Amino acid sequence: MANRSINLVLHQGSVSPHHELPQLRPANFHSFSSTWIITNGSLHVSPQRWNCSTSCCYCFRLRECRCNWKRLVRSCYTSEFVIASDENYGNKQVVSLTPRLYEYVLKNVREPEILRQLRQETASMRGSLMQVSPEQAQLLAMLVQILGAERCIEVGVYTGYSSLAIALVLPESGRLVACERDAKSLDVAKKYYQLAGVSHKVDVKLGLALDSLESLILNGEAGSYDFAFIDAEKKMNEKYFELLLQLVRVGGLIVVDNVLWHGKVADPLVYDPKTISIRNFNQKLMEDKRVSISMVPIGDGMTICRKR
């Protein structure tokens, strides 16, 4: 432990001397290039990384921590920006989405009532974290509107929050192919399609998304879709992307969710299979000249790809 680098450090005087060390889970801990030190409730930033010592409190599982750490870390959320460690970026200040600021963002999302109802029902279900956030759904719907899209595909529907947001803005003649392998969650989605009056726009495909996408290609639908959204098994992203690249027209968009993967992609200490696959996929997108890309730090991170 003596040589382990950490990022947020509490001096011994800020915590209980009997604070219990929780199980370390660096996969849940965001990495920064500088050390944040909290002393007497004040936040200090050092350009140097801090090495672990016995004077530190390592609360990697912030939600489960009951010591002063949580209270003090919350106080540092008043610093709502970060600065790139590379001086070539000109000390540009970038907004950091703290809990307080995120609440403000949510208050400025125009969420239709039917989507709010679906979100609230999904919140009590197993796997509710898979649902996209309201600001993500709003962006997806706007992209569809900007494109003037009429034919869309979604890979990974879950209970239908994002697909419903898209279907709501599609024209009456529009079509959304919704691929989902879990029948139970898909039943919830279909219920809300019906309640929203958009069932006629949604072509539900129950089963493996790869099979559904390949079937569309074999059916002669290559190059006929305007928009696609990937939010399914992360280790399959590359295969989904390649098939969608065939199905989406030139100038169309493919949006990929969870590209920041809770911050794990930027942490060199995290190397589980899903994180590695997302890192590799992100790198391949960077090098893929068939598309223009923009990685957007919204929700869990989305990359918007425009087919060239």
Walk me through the domains of the chain, giving residue ranges and CATH numbers. 7-102 (no CATH), 109-307 (3.40.50.150)
Position 23 scores a pLDDT of: 39
Angstrom CA distances, 128 to 93, 122, 136, 194, stand at 33, 6, 15, 21
Position 80 scores a pLDDT of: 74
Angle made by CA atoms 141, 142, 146, in degrees to the nearest 5: 125
| pLDDT (tens digit per residue) in 30-43 | 333 343 443 444 44
Name the burial class of residue 192, with classes exposed (0-12), middle (13-18) and buried (19+) by CB atoms within 10 angstroms of its CB: buried
CA count, 13 A, side-chain hemisphere, 83: 15
Angstrom CA distances, 22 to 29, 62, 67, 271, stand at 13, 10, 11, 21
> What residues of the chain score a pLDDT lower than 70?
1-79
Angstrom CA distances, 127 to 104, 158, 199, 209, 305, stand at 25, 9, 24, 19, 27
Q: Any idea what DSSP says for residue 264?
A: G
Beta-sheet pairing, 175-180 with 8-10: unpaired
Position 111 scores a pLDDT of: 98
| Single-letter residue type at 166 | I
Could you give the CA distance from residue 50 to residue 56 in angstroms, rounded to a whole number? 10
Position 281 scores a pLDDT of: 98
Position 70 scores a pLDDT of: 39
Position 79 scores a pLDDT of: 59
Distance from the first to the final alpha carbon of the chain: 49
Q: What would the DSSP string read from start to end of 10-63?
A: E-GGGS-TT---PPP-GGGS---SSEEEEETTEEEEESSPEEP-TT----SSGG
Position 4 scores a pLDDT of: 36
Position 181 scores a pLDDT of: 97
Angstrom CA distances, 6 to 3, 31, 54, 73, 268, stand at 9, 8, 13, 15, 12
